[in-house]
Amino acid sequence: MSSRSAGWHAVVTLAGQWTKYGVQILALVVFSRLLDPQDFGIVAMVTAVVGVAYVLGDFGLSLAALQAGELTHGQRSNLFWLTSGIGVLTGLVVVALAPLFVHLYDEPQVGQVAAWIALVFVANGFAGHFRTELNRAHRFTALAVTDVVGQLGGLVAGLVVILTGGGLWGLVVQQVCAAVLVLVLVAGASSWRPGLPRRGEPMRGLLRFGSLSLAASVVNYLSTNLDQLVVGRTWGPATVGVYNRAFQVARVPAQQVGAPLTRVVLPHLRARLDDPASFSRAVHRAQAMLGTALVALFGYLIATAPNLVEVALGAGWDSAVPFVRVLCVAGLLESASRVYYWILLAHGRPGLILGAELGARTIMVVLMFAVVSQGAIWVAWAAVVGQVLLLGTNVLVTAPAVGVSPWPLLRLSLAGVLAVAPATALVAWLGGRPVPGPVAVELLLLSTLWVAVAALSLLVPRARALVADGAGYVRAMLPRPA
């Protein structure tokens, strides 16, 4: 894949993911005005426990397929049946464990919600390899469209249920309908069709890479979402409902962008392993592109959190503001670590990823359990500590292990933070002072001020170079004039 085509694919992927995120924010705004925090809390209790099945539904095999060079039709068919079978098995396990969830939370509706959410895992299992086939064929526009249409369909279906008196079941219907619609769309968009499972196909390498990638993803997911389980178990559905809404605002952007962009960046980096200079340039430009966008977003969210929460979620959600700000710090650190994940995947070192994730995130989980009794906000700070440990492990251990100097990458991350720090600090200070008038108008004024002050950072050569590097990576993706 050329640098230009990789860049264009990344533009399409980012555009699709930001549109998908916009639809999710729209759902957040609408549903938060129609439902109580306890409704969100009950659904969050389920997803915090069974959400790991989203990871299991893929079993790490999509990354294995992307990292591989050529695949026979038999290998591809076997991968399809493996991921589909895992999705069905996971759904059945979730249904079987529903009574245990009721006992865990002492909340009867949790079991009913879990049983229906199980359908999401079945749909994701069948859709997984169709997505991979579209990815391998560089059909990124089709992937972006299916994701956005799926989210829109789920939003409409959930809204209908809520408006007809379904309450929290609208949140369940939203997830199930989105997953089923995406399955239908990706299967229809792909020209590939699976054959019957075949023996004798070389699958060991794919399964080994997939299993190690899966283990790292499971560790990542559990530690990232365990905070909601810990908060819900200790403080109840109302508190975890507030925490979950803050999580959706603060952490979802990095997660929505990082994983799909990996599917574009990984083949691009892997093709440059034999040319260290080209590989290094590609890594730095990818980090500049991702870092510039996400650092700016997190800085803006931290600065405008009080006004943004009131405008987006409505009155009565002000307790989510501290969670949004702390979780944004965790999200910023997580985005800084993403480039090291790409580097290790490109080098075919999933075991090293697993080691780094397991060490840092184990400490983070222990901290969450240790501090939860002091208040839910301390659980969010434990997530920040975990991300600091993971970034430190990547800088000091994993990057040097594959011969990559981490310091230029770390300087890129720090340059992005310093570029938006003055705007973020000023707007956060002003936002804490009472201003007469509608809160939406205040948010608009503060947003304009944040953009203006952040733009002044371009007068600093290092900040200007960072933005130029990221923009250069994007321009490399755009098609040349005929």
**What pLDDT, in 10s, does the model give residues 301-313?**
999 999 988 888 7
DSSP-assigned states of every residue in 62-92: HHHHHHSS---HHHHHHHHHHHHHHHHHHHH
> Which of 85-94, 165-174, 324-333, 465-474 has the lowest average pLDDT?
465-474
Q: Kindly report the average pLDDT of the chain as a whole number.
A: 83
Closest CA to 257 of 361, 334, 196: 334
What local confidence, expressed as pLDDT, does residue 478 receive?
47
Res. 482: pLDDT tops 50: no
Q: In this predicted model, which residue has the larger pLDDT, 311 or 257?
A: 311
| CA distances for 175 relative to 54, 241, 313, 476, angstroms | 12, 17, 20, 36
- The band of 480, judged by pLDDT with boundaries at 50, 70 and 90, is very low
Buried b (16+ CB within 10 A) or exposed e, 445-471: bbbebbeebbeebeeeeebeebbebbe
**117: Cβ–Cβ under 8 A, 6 or more apart, which residues?**
46, 47, 50, 94, 172, 175, 176
Residues in the chain: 482
**What pLDDT, in 10s, does the model give residues 259-297?**
667 777 777 787 788 888 888 888 888 888 777 788 888
What gap in Å lies between CA 232 and CA 10, rounded to an integer? 37
**What pLDDT, in 10s, does the model give residues 402-453?**
989 898 888 888 888 888 999 999 999 987 666 667 888 889 999 999 999 9
What local confidence, expressed as pLDDT, does residue 412 receive?
84
What local confidence, expressed as pLDDT, does residue 2 receive?
47
What local confidence, expressed as pLDDT, does residue 155 receive?
93
* Segment (H or E) for 314: none
pTM above 0.85, yes or no: no
What gap in Å lies between CA 48 and CA 231, rounded to an integer? 10
What local confidence, expressed as pLDDT, does residue 7 receive?
55
No. of H helices and E strands in the chain? 19, 0
What local confidence, expressed as pLDDT, does residue 300 receive?
93
What gap in Å lies between CA 42 and CA 337, rounded to an integer? 31
Res. 256: pLDDT tops 90: no
What gap in Å lies between CA 117 and CA 88, rounded to an integer? 12
* Amino acid, res. 63: L
What local confidence, expressed as pLDDT, does residue 481 receive?
44
Buried b (16+ CB within 10 A) or exposed e, 69-99: eebeebbbbbbbbbbbebbebbbeebbebbe
Mean pLDDT of 42-63: 66
| CA distances for 380 relative to 217, 219, 295, 365, 367, angstroms | 20, 18, 19, 11, 10
Q: Are 86 and 231 in contact (CB under 8 A)?
A: no
**What pLDDT, in 10s, does the model give residues 7-21?**
566 667 667 777 887
What local confidence, expressed as pLDDT, does residue 161 receive?
94
